[in-house]
Structure 1
């Protein structure tokens, strides 16, 4: 009877006849015995298979190499080793798939090298741990919102709206780009395109989610978003996943409370559900820190600390004052010196506040309206908006949100100021029964980066899309 390796290691009965399938991780052979470790992806641990060489033809023995897939039948016995409770004493083995010249041999590989084999890196200990954690977090997100009465909304991937107004868009077209139809002024005539207008891949599902919240009360999106930002940093992707709740009748304080509750719920779930994966990644980070001679808080301690501590709160104005007086700023250690109120905070400023000043997650509120999106509610001072960012250690911004501008006259002025057009449907949500409402966007990939302790965001998404790079 075939059972997954996770089930065998947790619930397998010593003496039972079983069948296991998997890919060979390691092999040791001597005259008396063959030792194989196999893994089927169901858990972090491998299953050890022990067989007599005489039970197999020599041609088959030569094909038992790392990467090959096999099915083994035999009896489950108590293991003499310290790393597992049981092992499989095989009596019959069948090769399912050979793997000559398999590129991921059982030795240390750099993450840069593994990125050149994204379709195979799932079989490594590191990446199997990362993607099982990503699954657990994704499940917990849906559970969190379902338990709180939110409705899951599928917002469009193809849209005519630029929700952020930044213009970093991927165009979607069915036109023949070698022979584009033109208007008299030389511009592209999108009336001949599939949608009869210019369209692009979405940068956010927020605007559509706002419309849905005006009827359903509380909704959330969870899907891919796209940004054509020519950035090769360790925190940016061209295709990334966002979680975006929108709640009618909520204000900024409600949204901050929701964001903190969500993050802590997700950390708690992963700590409880993925202990072996986290233990493995924790040891990996300890080894890396030792090699780099860096004193870092161990991964597990970092997660538990963030879970236990309340997030710090500070306004943008207070943050600028702190940063201006920081020794790093006075000594010229910031790449972007902090000078005047109104400047956009960079990652180095955010991480200074989190990692050096407060030494815990930080929520910054009330940003200048000129550096934030048009839809954010203007505060009474006329200079700032009811916006908030949640900053995490090692990451910087992990959540960005705001109370949305529900007053149509204010919203129309903000749209004019930022040259946002063709959103009459969006204004309808303010024309017909407007209410205060609020929401935020959580970058799933950045959260996984924090939870796993990986150094590059390309290593926490299955197939990363970055400038000049589409591997599969």
Structure 2
């Protein structure tokens, strides 16, 4: 007999005889009422046991965390809070759970405790909801680009180039770390290594995606990326997922159009598909906010923030205009910012980005035309020779969520920037070839997927929106 998902039972339009449901016990009350969940929906289904005719040994084994199979009738519930329940005819214990040792007891746990038990935390309502939302967002991303005619490209995880030029990369080698061969100069001889050169885990698939965009027109990547940045913060991961579209013949304005349309699409899709989970996460965030001092509370609920993004056109503001606004703002003049804005050229921090979105414009913001010296080498230099065609999208509560640019398509300018930054041109010979053979204006952006999940779920720590977080000093599970 095929079992039925809890979601389908709860959404049934009528009672049903002889159903089979399988799942994990969340609670077992009064030797009679099982709250059963199978991960298909945030809600549990109540299963009513005939305790007088159920063996005592079986009743003792119905503990929190146990896996069970239940046969019975789906009937209208006599209790409040649920439309249907299952009257149990037969119950089989599929997997026992030691009730005293099972970490996920039916009580409130700290998020730090749940991170320490990441292999079991998804059995809680919070993490079940977050991971279902993450799954739907992932599907929405693919659906958006496929509907728009983009080609999905799998770019390399192992690479010999540093796309960001920051040098914070994890090295890949087949050498024993305590006995790597040396060359005549006394340096590690990478010619003897597996790939015959120094290689690393990728920080971005952008450069490779650009080569495909110059043949296929519009492409996107969606894969894992890695940063060896020793940042132990609530916003950083060593392993995370990136969405990176690249489009031939798109200038910066078209790039901003694409990014805005893309983000609004995937959020709308997720709101439509994850109503129950998002309502739960909205209430969770509201309850969390009540524990904060009044001055620190968010002005918007989670669902209001999501609607805020959908209902407001993204305000497009030059970096120069943004600096003027920030310099003259009350928190800057009163030295309330942790990083005071004093002059043009400052690298904006999250507090500045959030001020622009939440206080000044009261809408999502796209900043563009940043100073060249704080942006990557591949961004197109403007005619003023001091700014580049870069753009960042800023959201309430989170700051930057997307970074992108019109790419530098001019070979001579790109070569000059590479030389000035001390990058070995030989390492990027293939990238420069795209400027030698049929170069054209093209643009793209990168969206850190976990940042998006963080925003949509209302979680406050990025470690709580990825199944198994990889951070400094932590590679458990």
TM class by smaller structure: over 0.9
User: CA-to-partner distance for each residue in 1:133-185, whole Å, 9 max, x for gaps?
Assistant: 00110000001001111000000000001000000000000001110111232
Question: Which residue does 1:446 correspond to in 2?
Answer: 451
What are the Cα deviations for residues 25-78 of structure 1, in whole angstroms up to 9, with x where unaligned?
A: 011025xxx000011111111111001112322122111111010000011100
Shift of 1:347: 1.4
SS at match of 1:279: helix
- Match for residue 4 of structure 2? 3
- 2:356 aligns with 353
Shifted more, 190-199 versus 350-359: the winner is 350-359
Distance in 1 of aligned mates of 2:258 and 2:379: 18
Any conservation in 2 of the 1:55–1:91 contact (CA below 8 Å)? no
Alignment of 1:181-330 (within 5 A): 181-294=181-294, 295-296=297-298, 297-330=300-333
Q: Is 1:426 matched up with 2:427?
A: no
Structure 1 position 306, deviation (Å): 1.3
Unaligned segments of structure 2, at least 5 residues: none
- Other structure's SS at 2:26 match: strand
Structure 1: 4+ residue segments shifted above 6 A: none
Q: Which moved more, 1:147-156 or 1:320-329?
A: 320-329
CA distance in 1, matches of 2:186, 2:44: 63
Query: What residue in structure 1 maps to residue 51 of structure 2?
Result: 53
1:17-416 mapped onto 2 (5 Å cutoff): 17-30=18-31, 34-100=32-98, 101-294=101-294, 295-296=297-298, 297-416=300-419
Say what the alpha-carbon RMSD is for the aligned residues.
Answer: 1.0
Q: Supply the distance in 1 between the matched residues of 2:348 and 2:39 (Cα, whole angstroms).
A: 41
Counterparts of 1:334 and 1:181, CA distance in 2: 51
Structure 1 CA distance for aligned equivalents of residues 236 and 420 of structure 2:
28
2:145 match: secondary structure: helix
- Secondary structure, aligned partner of 1:214: helix
Aligned 8 A contact 1:12 1:76 in 2 = no
CA positional deviation for 1:234: 1.0
Residues 55, 92 of structure 1: 8 Å contact kept: no
TM (normalized to structure 2)? 0.97
- The count of residues paired between Structure 1 and Structure 2 equals 469
Higher mean Cα deviation, 180-189 or 85-94? 180-189
CA shift, 1:11, in A, is: 2.6
Question: Secondary structure of 2:11's match?
Answer: helix
- Whether 1:457 aligns to 2:462 is yes
Deviation at 1:186, TM superposition (A): 2.3
Distance 1:219 1:118 in 2: 34
Task: Write the distance in 2 (CA, Å) between the matches of 1:418 and 1:353.
Answer: 31
Tell me the SS of whatever aligns to 1:283: helix
**Secondary structure, aligned partner of 1:212:** helix
Greater mean alpha carbon deviation, residues 267-276 or residues 295-304: 295-304
Whole-angstrom CA distance in 2 between matches of 1:325 and 1:80: 62
- Whole-Å separation in 2 of the counterparts to 1:420 and 1:4: 56
TM-aligned CA deviation for residue 12 of structure 1 = 6.1
SS of 1:83's equivalent in the other structure is coil
How far the C-alpha of 1:411 sits from its partner, in A, is 0.5
Q: Could you list the per-position Cα deviations for residues 382-420 of structure 1 after superposition, in whole angstroms to 9, with x for gaps in the alignment? A: 110000000111111100000000000000011111122
SS in 2 for 1:60: helix
What CA distance in whole angstroms lies between the structure 2 residues aligned with 1:183 and 1:343? Answer: 43
The farther-off stretch of 201-210 and 55-64 is 55-64
Cα offset for 1:232? 1.3
